[in-house]
Amino acid sequence: MSGAHRDPLYARNARIVRASVNAAHKRGESVACIGCGREVQPGQRFDVGHIIDASRGGSNALDNLGAQHRRENRSAGGRLGAHAVNTQRGTSRKARGLPTW
């Protein structure tokens, strides 16, 4: 978990996003995932994700947060973390002459 997720502003805004998503589901409204645009189904577990990731200059403001499929959010975080580590080490796939899928 990054420092951005320990920020009290993020915690407060994440609670607000969760409450609004759950209220929308109770009203029968659909809620789109901020990552893929598909619907987050009622009862489906979801994460509160950043539209513009904090590591790329995004904020913890309410307008930068939204519901995101749990697997999608966590795999995106893993890719960002791996990229940061590989860049620091100078061992990115590109630097090693490997394909950069």
10 compared with 75, residue with greater pLDDT: 10
DSSP state of 36: T
Question: Hey, where are the domains in the chain?
Answer: 3-89
- Cα separation values, 87 from 4, 52, 57, 79, 92, Å: 21, 20, 17, 12, 6
- Is the model's pTM score more than 0.75? no
Q: What is the pLDDT of residues 8-54, one digit of tens each?
A: 999 999 999 999 999 999 999 999 999 999 999 999 999 999 888 87
